[in-house]
């Protein structure tokens, strides 16, 4: 139902996820751009190699964190990929970390989180601002409220405030549906980029563990 969206737990999980994505997206973007730029810039001194390895490992770990968050808030069922943990020895694990597509998909996912976080934050802020218009009939006469609606001008009549409140709440419900739709789209992206690669061949470590 259209108005039932406000009572669904998935709606508020989506709201929480989109709000959380904004600061996380900024952090991921700054962290990745700074770290990889520094690593590649210092490759000529060989100091860049451990920095790049550290960045790749950190990206994989952050992707694992995002997988858990997605499973909890977006109600996805993204499986854990154990290809790296099954590798025996430090160098084998390092090789798996660098060559596996799962690692680089996670890097791409973390970079995408920045624009997604901005879009999600805007949707949530607009939705709550629209619902806030329900207070217009109560405060339209107050100087501090000072509600202006485009070409209509200042709202200074009770009927205008009521109309604004009704329209605002209706649009607020529309934005809640947009928030749910955005979260569902992102859940598909998370499932595609954070889960194990189905096309990757089974390696000898997995074979020996079975």
> Does residue 63 lie in a domain region?
yes
Please tell me the distance from the alpha carbon of residue 109 to that of residue 161, in angstroms, as a whole number.
44
In the predicted model, what is the mean pLDDT of residues 148-177?
Answer: 79
pLDDT at position 168 over 90:
no
- Domain count for the chain, please give it: 1
- Could you tell me if residue 209 is inside a domain? no
CB 155 within 8 A of CB 61: no
- The answer on pLDDT for 73 being more than 60 is yes
Residue 34 falls inside a structural domain:
yes
Q: 200 pLDDT exceeds 80?
A: no
Q: Worst-scoring range by mean pLDDT, 19-33, 114-128, 141-155, 165-179? A: 141-155
**Which range (86-95, 104-113, 200-209) has the least confidence?**
200-209
Is residue 85 within 8 Å of residue 97, measured between CB atoms? no
8 Å CB contact between 121 and 175: no
For residue 72, what are its two tokens? Answer: 């909890």
pLDDT level of residue 205 (50, 70, 90 thresholds): very low
CA 187/CA 199 separation, integer angstroms = 20
Domain assignment present for residue 119? The answer is yes
Out of 85-99, 120-134, 185-199, which region has the weakest mean confidence (pLDDT)? 85-99
In a domain, 194, yes or no: yes
Please tell me the pTM assigned to this model: 0.80
Q: How many residues does the chain have?
A: 210
Q: Look at residue 210 and tell me if it is in a domain.
A: no
Task: Name beta bridge partners: 154.
Answer: 148
Residue range(s) defining the domain that contains residue 193: 3-204
| pLDDT above 70: residue 145 | no
pLDDT exceeds 60 at position 24: yes
In this predicted structure, the answer to whether residue 70 has a pLDDT above a threshold of 70 is yes
What is the dihedral sign for C-alpha 29, 35, 40, 42?
positive
Q: Of 79-88, 99-108, 140-149, 192-201, where does the model show the most confidence?
A: 99-108
For residue 34, give both structure tokens. Answer: 């700074």
152 or 6: which leads in pLDDT: 6
**Does the residue 108 lie in any domain?**
yes
Residue 107, in any domain of the structure? yes
Sorted by sequence, the CB contacts under 8 Å of residue 124 that are 6+ apart come out as 15, 18, 19, 179
Structure tokens at 60: 């994989």
129/116: higher pLDDT = 116
What are 201's two structure tokens? 């061949």
């Amino acid at each position: 139902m259209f108005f039932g969206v406000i009572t669904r737990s998935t709606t508020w999980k989506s709201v929480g996820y989109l709000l959380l994505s904004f600061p996380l997206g900024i952090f991921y973007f700054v962290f990745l751009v700074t770290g990889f730029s520094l690593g590649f810039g210092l490759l000529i001194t060989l100091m860049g190699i451990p920095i790049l390895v550290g960045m790749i490992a950190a990206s994989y770990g952050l992707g694992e964190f995002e997988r858990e968050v997605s499973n909890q808030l977006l109600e996805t069922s993204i499986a854990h990929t154990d290809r790296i943990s099954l590798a025996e020895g430090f160098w084998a694990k390092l090789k798996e970390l660098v060559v596996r597509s799962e690692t680089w998909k996670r890097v791409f996912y973390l970079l995408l989180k920045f624009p997604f976080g901005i879009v999600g934050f805007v949707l949530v802020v607009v939705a709550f601002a629209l619902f806030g218009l329900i207070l217009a009939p109560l405060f339209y006469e107050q100087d501090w409220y000072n509600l202006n609606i485009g070409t209509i001008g200042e709202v200074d009549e009770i009927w205008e405030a009521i109309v604004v409140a009704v329209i605002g709440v209706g649009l607020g419900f529309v934005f809640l549906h947009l928030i749910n739709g955005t979260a569902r789209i992102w859940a598909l992206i998370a499932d595609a980029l954070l889960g194990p690669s189905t096309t990757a061949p089974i390696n000898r470590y997995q074979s020996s563990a079975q």
